[in-house]
Structure 1
Amino acid sequence: MANIKSAIKRVRVNEDHRLQNQSVKADMRSHIKKVEALVESKDIENAKTAFATAVKKIDKAVQKGLVHKNKGNRQKSRLAQKINGLSA
């Protein structure tokens, strides 16, 4: 454990940020799973509305730097493909 005052504060701040980041990422994953579950049950209308909120969550995680830009785009693309494949 650190004994310098600034190092102690840095440990505390890092832990706070880690917990906040963890909740944002968990929320993003939950919305992605919700869309995938709706696609599995072939509920197109609800899947589209859930997709819109999932995209917002993914974009917010990318904006905060929690997820790489390419990974965010890949997740959105795969979800869109699933929804489009369902309606086609």
Structure 2
Amino acid sequence: MPNIKSAIKRVKVTKAKTLKNSIKKSVLKTTIKKCKEAIATNDASAATVLKSTIETIDKSAAKNILHKNTAARRKSKLAKALNAANKK
């Protein structure tokens, strides 16, 4: 445990931010999983689920939870999966 006041605060702030980021990552992963399930089952609402998933991914990228290229790759992969499922 640090002795310096500013270092003590840094530890406290880092713990709080880590907790918030882990919650946001968990929500993101759950949203992506639900989207993949909707696409796999050819659900009629898969397009709307994809739209909300893309919004969640964009928000995560804006808040530096995901890198912007990672966000783009994940969005592209989901859209590609939806298009492939619609063609079948």
What TM-score does the superposition give when structure 2 sets the normalisation length? 0.94
Q: Which runs of 5 or more structure 2 residues have no equivalent in the other structure?
A: none
Output the CA distance in 1 between the equivalents of 2:45 and 2:34.
Answer: 10
Contact 2:47-2:82 at 8 Å conserved across structures: yes
**Superposed CA RMSD:** 0.8
Deviations 1:38-87 (A, max 9, x none): 111111x3211111111111101100111111100000000000111111
**Equivalent residues in 2 for 1:1-88, closer than 5 Å:** 1-43=1-43, 45-88=44-87
What TM-score does the superposition give when structure 1 sets the normalisation length? 0.94
Write out the 4+ residue segments of structure 1 that deviate beyond 4 Å after TM superposition: none
Q: Which runs of 5 or more structure 1 residues have no equivalent in the other structure?
A: none
Output the CA distance in 1 between the equivalents of 2:19 and 2:52.
Answer: 22
Output the CA distance in 1 between the equivalents of 2:81 and 2:29.
Answer: 16
Q: How far apart are residue 5 of structure 1 and its match? A: 1.0
